[in-house]
Structure 1
């Protein structure tokens, strides 16, 4: 009987974890198409995933929590713009991320921009909604700030 209960709890936990997994796009063109289709702004996460302590902390304390997953699925299209030092990265993605870093004037990590994008004559135009970074206090404190950024642009 204990084995059955253990197996049930294990399977339920696995299903729950998969239900909370989020899809982070790394290709801006793909993210823009999803954003246009869903009418949701993009959350652009500028990170140094394998070296930036504050980025790793933001991931653990906020971006990998069930609260964030629920909020993100409802409100934004997730885009990870990574600047790793050890992890190999596709040259096209490196170029894209560097161009976006310049366009959004990112000076430090982590930086999170909320934006809408459109293409006019083959050129991407951004409507910057606001930005944030690491916020102490866990997912609720971070999400409160994110909601404020999105709310200000809706009114």
Structure 2
């Protein structure tokens, strides 16, 4: 019984720490306005772009980034997978295509665009080799302040 309680408390604690990637860009904008937070818009190729995969693994999936992001950012991933089994539903893909036309017309991957709650671009960055979650957060925060 004690092991079950410990496991449940760990699951609950990690759920509280997890950053929440919004299911749609409209949801991200609504949440940003509601909570007065910037939007971190990530353009990625989750199944083909090696720097995108490394950025996710080393930065976005880190405990440090998850904890900080859940309190300070609204996150949206505009993904462009290539493998057939990873294809997105057509409405979501259409939204991501409109976002790439608006915020990433040169098609850079990965590209991380920081927007204010009114969708104005505050700054952009990408994958930075040998960066740490703390350094990456500092880079994103430079655009906000």
> What is the total number of aligned residue pairs between the two structures?
141
In structure 2, how many angstroms separate the alpha carbons of the residues matched to 1:117 and 1:141? 23
Query: Structure 1 length as normaliser, TM-score?
Result: 0.81
Following TM superposition, by how much is the alpha carbon of 1:94 offset from its aligned partner in structure 2, in angstroms? Answer: 0.8
In structure 1, the partner of 2:32 is 35
Query: Structure 2 length as normaliser, TM-score?
Result: 0.86
Per-residue deviation, residues 3-57 of structure 1 (Å, max 9, x unmatched): 95x5565444333332222211131111111111111111101111111111111
Residues 106/38 of structure 1: CA separation in 2 closer, same or farther (3 Å cut): farther
Per-residue deviation, residues 94-144 of structure 1 (Å, max 9, x unmatched): 1111111011125221110011254xxxxxxx3100001112222012111
Contact 1:26/1:81 (8 A) holds in 2: no
In structure 2, the partner of 1:69 is 66
Pick aligned residue for 1:56 from 47, 53, 56:
53
Unaligned 5+ residue runs, structure 2? none
Which structure has more strand as a fraction of its residues? 1
SS of residue in 2 equivalent to 1:45: strand
Unaligned 5+ residue runs, structure 1? 119-125
Which of structure 1's runs of 4+ aligned residues deviate more than 6 A?
A: none
